[in-house]
A and B are shown apart, each in its own frame.
Chain A
Amino acid sequence: MSGIWKFIARRLLLAVPVFIGVTLVTFVLMHIVPGDPVALQMEEKMATIDPTAARLIRAKWGLDDPAPIQYVKFLRNALRGDLGISYRTDRSVLRSIVERVPATAKLAGAALLIAICIGVSMGVVAALRQNSALDSLSIMLATIGVSMPNFWLGLLLIYLLAVNLRWLPPSGYGPAYPYLIMPAITLGAGLSAVIARLTRSSMLEVIRQDYIRTARAKGLAERSVIYLHAFRNALVPVVTVIGITMAILIGGAVVTEIVFNIPGLGRLIISAILRRDYPVVQGVVLLTAAAYMLINLMVDVVYASIDPRIRYA
C-alpha cells in the first residue's frame, strides 16, 4: 500500500473514536440542557398539557428509557445506517438530512467560489502592489468584509437589490440565477476577506524567497515568476484555511439560510435544537462531523499535489 493510501486508511480508522466522542458529547449536552421535547411539542396550542398524551408520546419515542439505554440504542441503529425518526416531523432523520444537503452544499459551494475568486485575486494584487492605494483599498474592504454580520449584509442586499431595484427576488430557493446570488455574496463576503489577507501575506513571504530571485535571474517573464513559482507556493496556507473555513461556512449558512429562506441543513438543526428533536440533532452533528473530517482529509491530500515536498509517511 502506498504512503497516501496508508495515510487515508489511518485517518478513516481514527474517525471511529471521533464519531463516538462527538455523538456522546452531543447526547449528554442535549440531555443536560433543560427542556422537555414532549412539552415543547404539545405546548403551542394547548392551554394545558395532557399527561396521558405526554406518556404515550414518551413511550413512542423511547424517551421513557434511561438515558444510557437511549444512547446505546442510537449508536446501535446508527451503525445500521438508521438515524431514527424525527419527533417533530415523524420522518426518517437520514432522509430529512439528505434532502437538505443539496441546498446547503450549493450555498456553501457558491459562497466558497465567490470567496476564492475575490479573495485570491484581491490578495495577489495587494501583494504585488504592496503599500499602494490598491493595497490599502484591499485592506479596507477586507476589514469591512470581516466585520459585517451575515444577517445585516443579507438584509441590506435584499433591500437594495430586491425591494428598491427589483433586480433579484428577495428570498427563496430555485435556480442559481437569480436565487443564489445574494445568499452566496452574503456568506462569501467574510471568507473572501480572510482569504485576501492570507493570500497577500503568503504571497509577500514567497516573493522574497531565494528561488523567486533565482527565477527572475534566469530571465523568466514576470508573469511566469508570479503564476508558476510564487502563486503556487503561496497557495499552501490558503488551502489549509479554505478547508478550515468550510466549517465556518456551514455554521454561517444557518443565518444566511434563515435570512434568504433557503431550506438547508442550518434551518433543520436550528428548529431541531429549539424543539429538542434529539434524533435530528444527533444525525446532523454526526454527518457534519463526517463532512469536516472528509474535508480535512481532502485538504491534506491536496497539499501533496500543490507542494511536492510533502510526503505521507
Chain B
Amino acid sequence: MKRSFIRRLSGLALAGLLVALAFIQPVTAQTPVPGGHFRRALSSDPANLDPAQTNTVRAISVKMNIFDSLLRLNPRTLELEPGAAEAWTVSSDNKTMTFRLRRGIRFHNGREMVAEDVKYTIERILTPENASPFIRSYDRIAGAQEFVAKRATSVGGIHVLDRYRLQITNSVVDSTFPLTFSDLFIVPREEVERLGREFGQRPVGSGPFVFVSWSRDDSILLRSHANYWEGRPLVSALEFRIIPDPATAQAEFDTGRLDFMLLGDTNYRRYADDPKWKPYVVEVSELFTRHLGFNTTMKPLDDVRVRQAINHAIDKATMVRTILQGKAITAVGPLPPSINAFSPALRGYDYNPQRARELLAQAGYPNGFELELHGSSSPVIGRWLEGFQRYLADVGIRGKIVQQDFGVMLDRAGKAEIPTWTLSHGGGPNCVNYLGPFRSRNFGAPGNRMRYKNDRVDTLIDEAERTFSTQRQVQLCREAERLIVADAPWFFFNYNKAVLVHQPNVHGLVGNPVEMDYQPMHKVWIQPRR
C-alpha cells in the first residue's frame, strides 16, 4: 500500500511538473536568452563602413550596430529619441540645439565618449578632402561654409560647453535639422587618425557590436560589446552575410543558415500565406514611393491634362494585386502612409479610362500618341512597364518600353533626355525632405528630374522647412502634396510594403518603415533550439 501510495504520489508529481512546464514554456519563450550567433543577409557588400563615407542602405545597416548616433529615430513612431545624447533642447529662435551626452559611453578601444568627439565627427564630415556625401546635412551650421572653404580652422557654430555638453547653432531655421543627428555616427578621433583610410575597413565605434572581420563580398563579423551603455547585446556574435542572389538567400534561410531575410514580390506570398511561416512574417509600409516620373518640359507631357490622363489610365490596384503579389499599397500621392503628413483624405487618381480619354482629347490628343516608358533593366521593372504599356494602350497611348542600366537611366533623366523614368523615391521620415524632388531649386540630378515648378508648392515646402510645430508642418506638407497631385508630375504608383520573415526562434525584430534592413540588433535574441 505504501508502495502504491508512493507510486501515486510520483504520478501526481510528474503530472504537476508537466502542467507547470506547460505554463512555464510560454513564459520562457518570451524571456530573452543571451548568447548565440545571429546571421543575416545583405544584398551587396557595404563597400565602406566609415560614417563619413558611404550612405548606402547596406553600409548603414552595419554601421548602426558598430557606432552610436547622437540621436535615434524610433522605428515605430518615427520620432527622435535619445541616443548618445540623453537629452537635447532647441532654443527659442529654433536655431540652436544643446545636447547632453550620456556619461560612461565607451568606444571599443575603452575611451569614454565626450562632447569633443561629436564636434570632431561633424568637422570631419565637413572637411573638403574627405568629400563626404553627408556634407549637405551639416553645411548650414553657422561657420560651416567658412570651414569648408578653408577660411576657418573649426566650425564656429559648434561649441563644446563642457566634457558632456555641446551646442550647435544652425545658420537658418530648419525643422529637419534635428533629424540629421539620427544619422550622425560618432567616431573616436585617435582611431580615425591611427587607421587613416583603413578606418572604413576596420571601424572602431561605441555601438553595441565590435568589428571583428570583413571578408569582401562574403561576410562581416561583429561581436557583442561587453561595456555597451545599454547593456551587453543579447546575441554574442552578429554576422552579415553578403548574398546578392535572392534565390540563394531563400535557400540559405530555408536551410536555417540565415535568421531572417527580406522578402520580395516573388517569394512574399510563399511565406505570408503559409500558416507555418505567417506568424514570423513582419510587414511595414516603407517610406518609399514608386512612380513613373514625367519630364514636364517635353511634349506632350508638358500638358498637365496628359499627365493626369496617364494617372487615370493605369489600374494600379490590379497591378499591385497581380504583378506585385499584394506586396505594396496603391499610391494616392507622393507621401506614404507611414509618414505623419500622410493625408487619409487625399483621393488621388482613380482608375478611369473614360476620364483619361476625355483629358487626352481636351489636350489635343484624341488618338493618343507614342510614349517611351523608361526603366532600369531589372526584371521586376520590366513587369511594371509591361503593365503600364497594357493599360495605356486602352486609352490610345502607344507605350514603347525602354529598359537600360539604372545609372544610364538616372543620368538621362537628370539631363531631361528622356520623357519618363521608373524610380522608387525614399525621402526619410520628414515630409519636407520627402517632398524635396518637387522643389524647383532641385532641378535635374539633384532630384527634380521632372523640371516641375509650382511657386506655391515651393513656398509651402519652404515654410514647412522653417516651422518646428509638427502640426503646422504636417498641414503645410499636405497642402503642398495636394497641389503636386493635381499637377501630376509623377504617375503615383505604389508605396512599397517592406517584409521580412524570421526563424521561429528569433525575437525582437521590428518593422522599420525607413528601411527594413535597419534593425537595432542589440535587442534581438535567439531562443536556443531544443
Contact = CB atoms under 8 A, between A and B. Distances in A.
Contact of B248 (A42, A54, A91, A261): A261
A43 B410 contact: yes
B479 interface: no
Interface stretch (A29-37, A75-83, A127-135): A29-37
B216 A34 contact: no
Interface stretch (B391-399, B421-429, B493-501, B504-512): B421-429
Nearest to A51: B446
Interface in A32-49: 33-36, 39-49
A94 to B, nearest CB: 14
B407 interface: yes
Given A52-B135, A57-B131, A171-B252, A47 B56 contact: no
Interface stretch (A114-122, A136-144, A157-165): A157-165
A47 B407 contact: no
B243 A261 contact: yes
B47 interface: yes
A263 B216 contact: yes
A260 B129 CA distance: 39
A91 B201 contact: yes
A159 B251 contact: yes
A48 B442 contact: yes
A229 B112 CA distance: 77
Given A34-B408, A52-B136, A91 B217 contact: no
Interface stretch (B4-12, B80-88, B164-172, B431-439): B431-439
B442 A261 contact: no
A117 B442 CA distance: 61
Contacts of B148: 52
B244 interface: yes
A96 interface: yes
B248 A271 contact: no
Contacts of B254: 163
A35 B410 contact: yes
Contacts of B350: none
B301 interface: no
Contacts of A267: 217, 244
B55 A46 contact: yes
B411 A39 contact: yes
Contacts of B405: 33, 35, 274
B264 interface: no
A287 B31 CA distance: 55
B25 interface: no
Contact of A47 (B44, B245, B408, B436): B436
Given A36-B407, A271-B45, A274-B407, A46 B244 contact: no
B57 interface: yes
Interface residues of A, number: 57
A222 interface: no
B414 interface: yes
Interface in B233-280: 241-245, 247-248, 251-252, 254-255, 257
Contacts of B434: 47
Interface in A254-312: 258-264, 267-268, 271, 274-276
Interface in B123-150: 128-129, 131-136, 139, 148
Interface residues of B, number: 62
Contacts of B197: 85, 90-91
Nearest to A85: B197
A128 to B, nearest CB: 41
Contacts of A171: 243, 248, 251-252
B156 to A, nearest CB: 18
Nearest to A99: B216
A201 to B, nearest CB: 37
Contacts of A56: 128, 131-132, 135
A67 interface: no
A274 B436 CA distance: 26
A158 B253 CA distance: 12
Given A163-B251, A263-B217, A271-B44, A57 B133 contact: yes
A271 B244 CA distance: 10
B133 A48 contact: no
B406 interface: yes
A209 interface: no
Given A40-B407, A44-B57, A53 B133 contact: yes
A158 B243 CA distance: 14
Contact of B56 (A45, A162, A170, A262): A45
B200 interface: yes
B467 interface: no
16 contacts: A36-B407, A40-B410, A42-B55, A44-B57, A45-B55, A47-B436, A48-B446, A50-B446, A52-B136, A155-B247, A169-B255, A170-B252, A170-B257, A263-B217, A271-B44, A275-B407
Interface of A: 33-36, 39-54, 56-57, 59-61, 85, 88-91, 96, 99-100, 155, 158-159, 162-163, 166, 169-173, 258-264, 267-268, 271, 274-276
In the A-B complex, list the 5 residue pairs whose CB atoms are closest, starting with the nearest: A35-B407, A48-B447, A50-B136, A263-B217, A170-B251
